[in-house]
Amino acid sequence: MSLRLRLDKPWTPLTAEAATRLPGQLGVYQIADAQGAILFIGEAGARSPFGLRSELLREAQNRGPGCQFRVEVNMQYRSRWFELLMVHKHDHGSLPPDNEKNPPPILGRLSPA
Amino acid sequence: MDFEPSEEQQMLIDQVRRYVREEIIPLEAKMDPDASELDPADHKRLVEKTKAMGLFGIDIPKEYGGPDIDIVTRVLLAIEMAQHRAGLYVPCYGTFGGAGLAQIFEANDDQKERYLYPTLRGEKKAFFGLTEPSGGSDPARAIQTKAERKDNGWVLNGAKIFISNADRAQYGIVFARTDASKGRAGITCFIIDSDTPGFHVRRVVHTLRSSHYATELEFKDCWVSDHQVLGEVNKGFAVANDRLTRQRIPYAAGCIGVAIAAHEMAIEWAKMRTTFGEKLANRQAVQWMLVDNEIDIRTAKHFTFEAAEKARRGLPFKIEASIAKLTASEGGGRVVDRSMQIHGGMGMTKDLPLERWYREMRIRRVGEGPSEVQRMVIAREILGSNLR
């Protein structure tokens, strides 16, 4: 009865227009390059003024064109963020490159069946 | 029994209260409202402070280098340490240090060298693996994880669920059935290193406590030597049960601390907030909610101190620990709920700690033995141990 481990929604081009259409809710998101390689896994926590919308708008402005994103609205944004990072590390052997630059202080080990 | 703190206890209470208000709460104002961990630099700085206060390693017995603090004083301090946003489950973000799992003090000398001392030095962390998908309230019967003899050791197969920190720990204490015919007398306690082949952390279990997750574990042909048996074969249930009973007292204290903090917020708000030309504090409906808060808090404090005092004197305290856990977790939940009601819409927001306390306090009625099990324990004690 476990929930879905990985985000598997289709990617959307990361633009300011796309970000402004997002809900102002809390959750998690992934940023990928044009080929779909994940660059960053982020969380939209309760300090974000407009949740996912604020975070993705900031990402779009900082990264410029050529990236893609997908989001998941999730009130358990903290534990879901940790989960996505651990699953990525299990699948790829390392964190996404932009998370590697500033990793969370403690990250556990997960070996999904 | 006199539950008024002594002069020395009051000094410690004041010291910890100041620490929470001056060091912890200001940091939380900048953190995510659901965060459970401090920035490592802040954590290190605050650990130095608690060491300077002489209170680091507060749960470590004196003979192992901990401060000599009795359980009643420990309860008084636990009530203070819980009075911040993350305080119910992560009092002061662990800056007072931890003693690790109580059972590991029962280890033999070799195991103490490998597990206890590194844990006390902060080099190793542990998890406690008791609950299984088949149930947690009745571990003696629900444990289905099997350990079978093989090659001078044991092979474990099975699963555990709702296990905190298993993905981050270096070892864990795991309970498994070693004799299927003996019920609670057929359970053995093992120390399992996290890198043992066949040990897997399969998934994160998301709960109301969004800041901190539990995990589900799988043991698949996980072989450990005889040196990993903690205590005696088939006597593991006593180890688990002793821990569950003792843990109920500080568990209750944490609930009381959060209830006090919520109640103080509600009083302050009621004195300040005006509706229809009158302060909330002047409304009888609000006054009665505050009175009920006060009664719930005083009731929980009374029973928790009674349990702690009996434990301090070396008297049996099983029934008292259950009553403390029951009154503090249920009463604490009611206090937080009423305090949210008094705050109105603001009480529902993540701007205030109330919503986090509300979610986390709900778990307390289930964790460490649900209310129904506590009532069952009390019923057995007052009606006779042969009652089933």
Nearest to B167 among A5, A47, A109 (CB): A109
Could you confirm whether B368 is annotated as catalytic?
yes
Q: What is the dihedral of CA A10, A11, A13, A17, to 10 degrees?
A: 60
How many A×B Cβ pairs under 8 Å?
74
Sequence-separated (6 or more) residues with CB below 8 Å from residue B18 = none
Report which DSSP code applies to B67. -
pLDDT(B190) > 60: yes
Q: Counting Cβ atoms within 10 Å, is residue B40 exposed (0-12), middle (13-18) or buried (19+)? A: exposed
pLDDT(B238) > 90: no
Determine the pLDDT at residue B211: 77
Question: Domain of B38: which CATH number?
Answer: 1.10.540.10
Same domain, B266 and B350: yes
Asked if residue A54 belongs to a domain, the reply is yes
Per-residue buried b or exposed e for B175-208, using 16+ beta carbons within 10 Å of the residue's own CB? bbbbeeeeebebbbbbbbebebeebbbbbbbbbe
Per-residue buried b or exposed e for A54-92, using 16+ beta carbons within 10 Å of the residue's own CB? bbbbebbeebeeebbbbbbebebbbbbbbbbbbbbbeee
Work out the end-to-end distance of chain B between its first and last CA atoms, rounded to an integer number of angstroms.
33
| A58-63, Cβ contacts within 8 angstroms, sequence gap of 24 or more | A59/A14, A59/A19, A59/A29, A59/A31, A60/A14, A60/A15, A60/A16, A60/A18, A60/A19, A61/A16, A63/A14, A63/A31
Asked if residue A89 belongs to a domain, the reply is yes
Determine the pLDDT at residue A105: 76
pLDDT(B233) > 90: yes
Asked if residue A109 belongs to a domain, the reply is no
**What is the C-alpha separation between A42 and A59, in angstroms, rounded?**
10
pLDDT(A1) > 70: no
pLDDT(B210) > 90: no
**What is the C-alpha separation between B79 and B91, in angstroms, rounded?**
9
Determine the pLDDT at residue B386: 57
Residue after which a domain boundary falls, among B44, B69, B102 = B102
One of B355, B368, B372, B381 is an active-site residue; which one? B368
Asked if residue A3 belongs to a domain, the reply is no
pLDDT(B104) > 70: yes
| Cα three-residue angle B24-B291-B323, rounded to 5 degrees | 75
Query: B69 to each of B6, B12, B74, B80, how far by Cα in Å?
Result: 13, 10, 6, 15
Same domain, B173 and B132: yes
Asked if residue B117 belongs to a domain, the reply is no
Say if the Cβ atoms of A78 and B37 lie within 8 Å.
no
**What is the C-alpha separation between B287 and B198, in angstroms, rounded?**
58
Report which DSSP code applies to A2. P
Single-letter amino acid code for the residue at B281: A
Q: Please give the tally of structural domains in chain A.
A: 1
The answer to whether B192 and B172 are in contact (CB under 8 A) is yes
The residue among B323, B327, B294, B290 whose CA lies nearest residue B307 is: B323
Asked if residue B118 belongs to a domain, the reply is no
Question: Domain of A31: which CATH number?
Answer: 3.40.1440.10
Q: Please give the tally of structural domains in chain B.
A: 3
Nearest to A111 among B200, B210, B350 (CB): B200
Same domain, B374 and B275: yes
Domain limits at A19?
Answer: 12-100
Asked if residue A72 belongs to a domain, the reply is yes
Determine the pLDDT at residue A103: 87
Question: Domain of B351: which CATH number?
Answer: 1.20.140.10
Determine the pLDDT at residue A47: 87
**What is the C-alpha separation between B289 and B340, in angstroms, rounded?**
11
Coil, helix or strand for A4?
coil
The residue among B307, B327, B320 whose CA lies nearest residue B256 is: B327
Kindly report the backbone phi and psi dihedral angles of residue B119, in degrees, each rounded to the nearest multiple of 5, phi listed first: -70, -45
ipTM of the complex: 0.79
Confidence of residue B218 (pLDDT cuts 50, 70, 90): very high
Say if the Cβ atoms of B215 and A2 lie within 8 Å.
no
Determine the pLDDT at residue B268: 98
**What is the C-alpha separation between B121 and A80, in angstroms, rounded?**
31
Confidence of residue B385 (pLDDT cuts 50, 70, 90): low
Residue after which a domain boundary falls, among B168, B198, B230 = B230
**C-alpha distance from A93 to closest chain B C-alpha (Å):** 16
pLDDT, one tens digit per residue, over B287-324 is 999 999 999 999 999 999 999 999 999 999 999 999 99
Same domain, B49 and B81: yes
The answer to whether B344 and B289 are in contact (CB under 8 A) is no
Domain limits at B179?
Answer: 126-230
